Amino acid sequence: MKTLYALLFPLVLLSACTDKQEEKPFKGSTSIAVSETPLSAPIFIASKMGYFSKYGLDVRLERFNGGHKCLKAVLDGKTEYGTTSDYPIMINSFKRSDYEVLATFVSSDNDVKLMADRRKNITSPVDIKGKRIGVITGGSSHYFLDRFLLFNNMKLEDVVIQHISPENMPAALFSGEVDAIAVWEPFGYLAHEKLGKDMVIFQAKDYYRETFNLVGMKKTIKENKEVTIRIIKALQEAEDYIQSSPKEAQQVIVNELKLDKQFIEWIWNDFNFKISLEQSLLLTLENEARWAIENKIIEGQGIPDYLEYVNPEPIKDVGKGLSNIMR
């Protein structure tokens, strides 16, 4: 018996000395409105690879065509969480303040592109002056086009803006309904597929940096902080998987979104998968808000305080260095 105690003693000591925190058993269910874009890759991979389940979450994914629709689903209470780009966050910030950004899980400075039909004698930025350009008015493509024109010494009035829904953009460009389009992926790729050599893509990587974010209602997050933390942990693991196994991660997205593998290869390097919640997002939102007011996209008196629209607490609970926002 003494020998048994002598052998057990070090093991007890070992368990006391190691402070490795084991994941507590947890059972929870939630829903995420996810945009059907490769930007949502971490969400799809977390679901497909079982990272949500690993953290005790039963996650129902509701798919939408665009981040703005996902945010709407959240705001309408159809899902508890959603994925959206920064632009819809800015737009809605003028109407309500009961939602908040929890994390940015990807950014891209080349998701929204300006693509033109070479057959319309467009080969350089200045050639688009006076041309018909398809945009989603009031959306990020509109914002991007304005930035593009400004940086090339033009203004929105120098072109003819034509509202076209994103899914119709490739066809509109191919049919000649418009001379150029400002659209996000995968519609840019589809347009490129249609036009082939006749497609001109303008290098405008630095004009607009788009982020894709996890959002939720403040009330829901307050009541389900543990669920939020676990979603972020699952997304963090998904991003580790993307970094360590990019080919496999791409294959997951190809399968999930029924996309062409070549398309994924086309856009993948533009994505910067890193979960964080940075001050730069606030600046992006402020810039967008300033533009939206100037261009009367929204009717607002002043720029909202976007510090009220971010909640760094859950992500800081996952890792203190993941956010430098102080609230």
Nearest to another protein of 43, 149 (CB atom)? 149
Print the binding letters for residues 254-293 with another protein: x by CB under 8 A, - otherwise.
Answer: --------------------x-x-xxx--xx-xx--xx--
CA distance 266 to 260: 10
Q: What residues from 152 to 171 belong to the interface with another protein (CB under 8 A)?
A: 153, 155
The answer to whether 123 touches 219, Cβ cutoff 8 Å, is: no
Q: Decide if residue 29 touches another protein (CB under 8 A).
A: no
Nearest to another protein of 94, 207 (CB atom)? 207
Helix (H) or strand (E) holding 204: none
Q: Decide if residue 326 touches another protein (CB under 8 A).
A: no
Q: How far is the CB of 163 from another protein (least distance, A)?
A: 22
Choose the stretch contacting another protein; rule: CB under 8 A; options: 32-40, 47-55, 143-151, 173-181.
143-151
Nearest to another protein of 165, 245 (CB atom)? 245
The answer to whether 207 touches 144, Cβ cutoff 8 Å, is: yes
Q: Decide if residue 206 touches another protein (CB under 8 A).
A: yes
217 phi and psi angles, rounded to 5 deg: -75, 140
Nearest to another protein of 175, 243 (CB atom)? 243
Choose the stretch contacting another protein; rule: CB under 8 A; options: 118-126, 178-186, 205-213, 224-232.
205-213
The answer to whether 179 touches 123, Cβ cutoff 8 Å, is: no
Q: Decide if residue 17 touches another protein (CB under 8 A).
A: yes
CA distance 131 to 47: 44
Q: Decide if residue 244 touches another protein (CB under 8 A).
A: no
Nearest to 182, CA basis, from 158, 157, 164: 164
CA distance 279 to 228: 20
Choose the stretch contacting another protein; rule: CB under 8 A; options: 24-32, 48-56, 201-209, 224-232.
201-209
Going from the C-alpha of 223 to that of each of 26, 185, 217, 228, the distances in angstroms are 15, 35, 10, 10
Q: How far is the CB of 190 from another protein (least distance, A)?
A: 28
Residue position matching structure tokens 């972020």: 232
Q: Decide if residue 146 touches another protein (CB under 8 A).
A: yes
Q: What residues from 207 to 236 belong to the interface with another protein (CB under 8 A)?
A: 207, 209
Six token digits for residue 134: 């398809």
CA end-to-end distance (rounded Å), the chain = 57
Q: What residues from 68 to 127 belong to the interface with another protein (CB under 8 A)?
A: none
Nearest to another protein of 196, 321 (CB atom)? 321
| Percent composition of the chain: helix, strand, coil (DSSP 3-state, to 5) | 50, 20, 30
Q: Which of 29, 53, 151, 223 binds another protein (CB under 8 A)?
A: 151
The answer to whether 83 touches 99, Cβ cutoff 8 Å, is: no
Count the site residues for another protein by CB under 8 A: 37
The answer to whether 171 touches 194, Cβ cutoff 8 Å, is: yes
CA distance 195 to 261: 19
Site residues for another protein per CB under 8 A? 3, 6-7, 9-11, 13-14, 17-20, 146-147, 150-151, 153, 155, 206-207, 209, 274, 276, 278-280, 283-284, 286-287, 290-291, 294, 319-321, 324
